Chain A
Amino acid sequence: MKKRGWGVACTYFGMGNTAKPNPSSAFVEVCEDGSAIVLCGVADIGQGSDTALGQIAAETLGISPERVNVVSKDTMVAPEAGITSASRQTYVSGNAIRFAAEQAKKILLKEAAEYMEENLIDLESKDNRIFVKENPGKYLTIEEVCTRLRKRGILVTGTGTYTPPTPEALDPETGLGIPYGAYSYGTQIAEVEVDTETGEVAVLNLIAAHDVGQAINPMAVEGQIEGGVGQGVGYALMEEMIVENGIIQNPSFSSYLIPTSLDIPQITSIIVEEPEPTGPFGAKGTGEPPSCPTAAAIINGIYDAVGVHITSTPVTAEKVYKALKQKGKEGG
């Protein structure tokens, strides 16, 4: 017989390397034609940092995203941006790029203010133009401003650097301290179906709500949530590194099992935006958090369905079967 249940689990996850500086730096240049180049040594491994970081530069400068070129990965030509890990790139490199872009923007605004005889604070940069806030019809294109500057021998560049505010290392004895500059929060709810005879568990639905501060690129954020859930399902139900005498016994895809298309539930992502004060436009990372609460939600769902609490992963059919048998013996 198959029984269904629901399980909930929550996570909070720190952004950046733990209790130590992990800075990123960036250079930004606005070119004569009004396009921009961002140089930042961040490695985009497919999560979409090139896109999101380009968007941060574009938003800051007021240039349309397709006119921003991100030169990344190569620390021979771009400043270091640290590791692509620890869910840190949007948050840390995003800030570095924002600071660099703001520096470059100051040069543009100052020039535009002089030429248009306006006060600096009355100007805004958006859609490739610098215009008077109260009178958008009065504007200069960014290209025009750059050309003007270049005639006077001024190039539009900026430098930015950022490290999360983690002022102290953890106490080596107590472990206390401030390990992270920002935290991401999430809740996942899993609907599972347990076969009471074989112990097989199928995850039917997984609803994942994650607070990302500000979704710079919502589609990319969804991709991270869905991918994290996929990994969470694998971690919960099938992945196990079997080690004996220091040797991994299952080093092959046929013995270390990861989820296939048939093993993934229906995933619903909910992007929660509670702006992070220290993040670029309120954004923070979402690389790792989505894979964290999944196993707990699934295990809680199993408990709801059949009343057994599994306390180790992976929750194989055999484990559930044994737990059910034990429960049956105890008359539970």
Chain B
Amino acid sequence: MRLPKFEWVAPSSLKDASEILKDKGECAKLLAGGTDLLIAMKQRILKPDYLIDLKNISGLSGIYKLPDGGAKIGSLTKLIEVATSGEMKQYYPSLAKAASSVGSYQIRNLGTIGGNLCLDTKCDYYNQSSYWKGPSDKCRKGGGDRCYAFPYSKRGCYALLSGDTVAALITYNAKIRITNSEGERIIPLEEFYTGQGINHINLKPGEILSEILLPPSNGVRAFFLKYAPRNTIDFATVSIGVSLKKNPIEARIVVGGVASAPLRLKEAEELLLQRVDDDIADEVGKLGVATAKIISSVRGGVNYKREMIRLLIRDAVRCVQGF
């Protein structure tokens, strides 16, 4: 499969990258590991005129301890490094586990954690090649006004966000640094996602996700589970992150892979905080099944996904209990 023609630019600073990105707007895409973008380009789903390659920019990769006991991870850090880092395994084990569950050995050697957070939303129709789509009407994400996943919907796009590290990072209350040529802002990772299948991440023109910031994890017990058809290189049918934190006490239950943004299940979290005993796991699971639209896909029908969410939440809660 051939890539379409494009102009490749490799700026040496984040500032330059941001300026080019702002200047070219919709005609340009950022290139990190390429394990998501290049596939979409080969299928002619995306045909940017410019690829802004971030790999020549120093300082965007690496895992570092912070003075407050937390950690920062450069957005261009490869998933394999996050998965195998001693620091991650010791202090943020469920993030290491999530990173190790992405794709195959080869994909993890190329893919970056920033790329995983920015993974384009996916849908069984949108992600077919343009050759397959042929003359059919474009879906909303493709620039048309139909939705093949929800044919009766009047608006919106329901493509799924399936980056495996998202749920795990949110359970650790991660923040992200977003940089552009004028400055930067730091936001909680949850606020990065719009909840829409189109324009699913909150980035203004020229902005680039540059760093992930993790608060200290002492006092946090977190667990990540991924359920996928072959438990191998597949996108998750469902991914679950659960965490319990002491001082101040906090619970987080995050579901990924079933909507356009990760779902925080606040009611279930409250229940978990109230009672931390053996029976609760099952109840939390039941309550945790969200009412947000869950799209069925080749990876599972809606009701089955709901059941898997319930089971995985229950299993994850059992793991963080005894706390």
Contact = CB atoms under 8 A, between A and B. Distances in A.
User: A contacts B directly in the complex (CB < 8 Å)?
Assistant: yes
Interface of A: 197-198, 238, 242, 247, 249-251, 254-255, 257, 259-260, 262-263, 316-318, 321-322
B123 to A, nearest CB: 12
A318 B124 contact: no
Given A249-B124, A251-B132, A255-B298, A263 B308 contact: no
Main secondary structure of the interface of B (DSSP, over half): loop
Interface string B203-245: 0000000000000000000000001011111110000000000
Q: Which 6 A-B pairs have the closest CB atoms?
A: A318-B304, A260-B232, A255-B298, A262-B232, A197-B311, A250-B298
A255 B123 CA distance: 11
B: contact size bracket: 10 to 19
B312 to A, nearest CB: 9
A254 B235 contact: yes
Contact of B230 (A249, A251, A257): A257
A262 B229 contact: no
A321 B230 contact: no
A255 B128 CA distance: 10
A74 B298 CA distance: 42
Given A198-B311, A247-B132, A249-B124, A257 B304 contact: no
A318 B300 contact: yes
Contact of B232 (A197, A198, A263, A322): A263
B142 interface: no
B240 to A, nearest CB: 13
B301 interface: yes
A143 B232 CA distance: 57
Contacts of B128: 251
Contacts of A321: 304, 307
Contacts of A255: 124, 298
A242 B298 contact: yes
A322 B307 CA distance: 11
* Residue of A249, A251, A254, A322 with highest tally of chain B CB at under 10 A: A254
Contacts of B301: 318
A254 B234 contact: yes
Contacts of B132: 247, 251
Interface in B299-323: 300-301, 304, 307-308, 311
